[in-house]
Amino acid sequence: MTNPRLSVVLTRRLPPAVETRMSELFDTRLRSDDEPMTRAELAESMQNADVLVPTITERIDQALLAGAGERLKLIANFGAGIDHIDVATARQRGILVSNTPGTVTEDTADMTMALILATVRRIPEGLALMQAGAWQGWAPTALLGGRLAGRRLGILGMGRIGQAVARRAAAFGMQVHYHNRHRLRHEIEEALAATYWESLDQMVARMDIVSVNCPHTPATYHLMNARRLKLMKPTAVIVNTSRGEVIDENALTRGLRAGEIAGAGLDVFEHATRINPRLRELKNVVLLPHMGSATVEGRLEMGEKVIINIKTFADGHRPPDLVVPGML
């Protein structure tokens, strides 16, 4: 007699190929639309499923986990970041949590460089001029931006994505600097031609560009706070493709409006879609709707990892991408 198939609930629409394969392997409940689940829908799903497949848009907190049914044994997150899941509480209740590490590295690093280029070279201003039909022709002093070669890039967080950004920046002729919770091994520093700064304050004060590439944890919340943002040079720009909570968004807005910071390129925001309206008014800011990992290839890789994690669990083994509380 064969074992019954696992009941798997998806909280969002996933690429068709991923949904098809999941439906072949498991008793999968798909979403009929692409709206985030309500809290009530999440609670109901966690009561009746063996496996929940959430995304960053669902907050799986202590209260939801407390009401989870006895069947729920795995939360297979579709994405690498897991700060929206209370992993410690899940493990206390015997629920494993897995993620999809490495699937967003190259795509997010590409977007980081895109934001650096767009901000420093004033690309959105040029696009707006063209789309408005207001361009009057080339002029020697029009829309002057800056040259990337020779600029100092300070990377905050030198994990997979930070290192991928460093490799790209080096190809543009930039000087790579970084601050990280732990210093990289000498051979990695040498390969990346990266200079380590133990003091984040000292690094921030000397950089032309600051790139935020660290996860959101209690230790990194508002790591770039009002005091630290004031340390930046008035000619410097900051980009963030990691988590919005790492930067004090109100303080950043004040600094940009006062001319204390030259520009910002943001793909993530402190309060998700509730963006400071004063930030949206600024011409020296490039704002994107959390597109850093939005590639077909990346989404398919995420789906493949989710399927492998669930299938391995179904076969009675430890999921290969098991998240351990306190690992970040």
CATH of the domain at 167: 3.40.50.720
> Are residues 43 and 116 both part of a single domain?
no
Asked whether the predicted pLDDT for residue 29 surpasses 60, the reply is yes
> Are residues 244 and 310 both part of a single domain?
no
Q: How far apart are CA 110 and CA 104, in angstroms?
A: 10
Domain that holds residue 23: 7-103+295-314
pLDDT of residue 1: 36
> Amino acid identity, residue 294?
A
Could you give the number of structural domains in the chain? 2
Residue 304 pLDDT grade (very low, low, confident, very high; cuts 50, 70, 90)? very high
> Are residues 146 and 270 both part of a single domain?
yes
Residue 93 lies inside a defined structural domain of this protein? yes
pLDDT of residue 4: 77
Residue 328 lies inside a defined structural domain of this protein? no
> Are residues 80 and 124 both part of a single domain?
no
Strand partners, 60: 85
Mean pLDDT of 302-326: 94
> Are residues 250 and 301 both part of a single domain?
no
Q: Determine what percent of the chain is predicted with pLDDT higher than 90.
A: 92
Asked whether the predicted pLDDT for residue 327 surpasses 90, the reply is no
Asked whether the predicted pLDDT for residue 189 surpasses 70, the reply is yes
> Are residues 121 and 195 both part of a single domain?
yes
Q: Is the Cβ–Cβ distance between 145 and 118 less than 8 Å?
A: no
Mean pLDDT of 204-226: 96
Worst-scoring range by mean pLDDT, 70-74, 75-79, 178-182, 213-217?
A: 213-217
Asked whether the predicted pLDDT for residue 324 surpasses 90, the reply is no
Residue 325 lies inside a defined structural domain of this protein? no
Asked whether the predicted pLDDT for residue 312 surpasses 50, the reply is yes
Asked whether the predicted pLDDT for residue 275 surpasses 60, the reply is yes
> Are residues 110 and 99 both part of a single domain?
no
> Are residues 158 and 178 both part of a single domain?
yes
Query: Closest by alpha carbon to 176, among 185, 188, 167, 186?
Result: 167
Phi, psi (degrees; rounded to nearest 5) at 75: -110, 105
Q: How far apart are CA 220 and CA 156, in angstroms?
A: 10
Mean pLDDT of 193-214: 98
Residue 1 lies inside a defined structural domain of this protein? no
Q: Is the Cβ–Cβ distance between 79 and 101 less than 8 Å?
A: no
Residue 69 lies inside a defined structural domain of this protein? yes
Token duo for residue 184: 């990289």
> Are residues 145 and 118 both part of a single domain?
yes
Mean pLDDT of 185-189: 97
> Are residues 191 and 275 both part of a single domain?
yes
Asked whether the predicted pLDDT for residue 328 surpasses 80, the reply is no
pLDDT of residue 34: 87
Q: Is the Cβ–Cβ distance between 293 and 110 less than 8 Å?
A: no
> Are residues 120 and 192 both part of a single domain?
yes
Mean pLDDT of 2-19: 90
Q: What is the pTM of this model?
A: 0.91
pLDDT of residue 325: 73
> Are residues 187 and 282 both part of a single domain?
yes
3-state secondary structure the chain: CCCCCCEEEECCCCCHHHHHHHHHHCEEECCCCCCCCCHHHHHHHHHHCCEEECCCCCCECHHHHHCCCCCCCEEECCCCCCCCECHHHHHHCCCEEECCCCCCHHHHHHHHHHHHHHHHCCHHHHHHHHHCCCCCCCCCCCCCCCCCCCCEEEEECCCHHHHHHHHHHHHCCCEEEEECCCCCCHHHHHHHCEEECCCHHHHHHHCCEEEECCCCCCCCCCCECHHHHHHCCCCCEEEECCCHHHECHHHHHHHHHCCCCCEEEECCCCCCCCCCHHHHCCCCEEECCCCCCCCHHHHHHHHHHHHHHHHHHHCCCCCCCECCCCCC
Distances 50 to 8, 75, 116, 314 between C-alpha atoms, Å = 6, 9, 43, 10
pLDDT of residue 326: 59
pLDDT, averaged across the chain: 95
Q: What is the pLDDT of residues 98-152, one digit of tens each?
A: 999 999 999 999 999 999 999 999 999 999 999 999 999 999 999 999 999 999 9
Residue 323 lies inside a defined structural domain of this protein? no
